[in-house]
Every structure is written in structure tokens, then in C-alpha cells.
């Protein structure tokens, strides 16, 4: 397989994986996927602040109630990070 074809196949597989992950996480309506959604940040069992569809990081504001749009933006940001790792 030529390097350019290999790269194209890898990109297609990576893009498909991210799309499938997005649907599994959020579900068809955006709120009923496997991961669930929490609009209010919480500390998980090991003390990591988590919000929305499992987003973690220093950008979480404890006590804030996130909107559906903010959660979708955080999910898109997280999935874009994963996509870049799959297909650099």
C-alpha cells in the first residue's frame, strides 16, 4: 500500500472512530448516551473535577451550571484532541 493511500485510510478510520465515539457518548438527542451528562461540575472519586460528558481540566469552574451548548463545545474540543492524536 502506498504511503498516501495508507494515510488516507488511516484518516478515514480515525474520523469514523471519532464520529462513533461522539454518538455513543451523547446519544441521538445529545443527552442520552452511554456516558451521561452532568451540567454541574463534581469531583469524581479521585478528586478530579468533571462536567458535562466527562470533560476534565483546569478550565472547569466549580459551582457553575453549564449549558447544553457549553457541554457540546467542551465535547467537541475533547474529541478534536483525540482526533489529532489518532491522525496527526
User: Given this model, what pLDDT does residue 71 score?
Assistant: 93
Active-site choice (31, 35, 70, 78): 35
User: Given this model, what pLDDT does residue 87 score?
Assistant: 77
Active-site choice (31, 32, 43, 44): 44
User: 3-86: which CATH topology?
Assistant: Lysozyme (1.10.530)
User: Given this model, what pLDDT does residue 70 score?
Assistant: 96
pTM above 0.85, yes or no: no
Please, what sign has the CA dihedral across residues 72, 74, 40, 37? positive
Taking only the tens place, the pLDDT of each residue in 31-48 is 555 667 899 999 999 999
Helices 68-86, 3-26: inter-axial angle, 10-degree rounding = 150
Taking only the tens place, the pLDDT of each residue in 12-71 is 555 555 555 555 555 555 555 566 789 999 999 999 999 998 999 999 999 999 999 999
The verdict on whether 31 is a catalytic residue reads no
The verdict on whether 43 is a catalytic residue reads no
Amino acid at each position: 500500500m502506498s504511503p498516501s493511500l495508507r494515510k488516507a485510510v488511516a484518516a478515514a478510520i480515525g474520523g469514523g472512530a471519532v464520529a462513533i465515539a461522539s454518538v455513543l457518548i451523547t446519544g441521538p438527542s445529545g443527552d442520552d448516551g452511554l456516558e451521561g451528562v452532568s451540567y454541574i461540575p463534581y469531583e469524581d472519586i479521585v478528586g478530579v473535577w468533571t462536567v458535562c460528558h466527562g470533560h476534565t481540566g483546569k478550565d472547569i469552574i466549580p459551582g457553575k451550571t453549564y449549558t447544553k451548548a457549553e457541554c457540546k463545545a467542551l465535547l467537541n474540543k475533547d474529541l478534536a484532541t483525540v482526533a489529532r492524536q489518532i491522525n496527526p
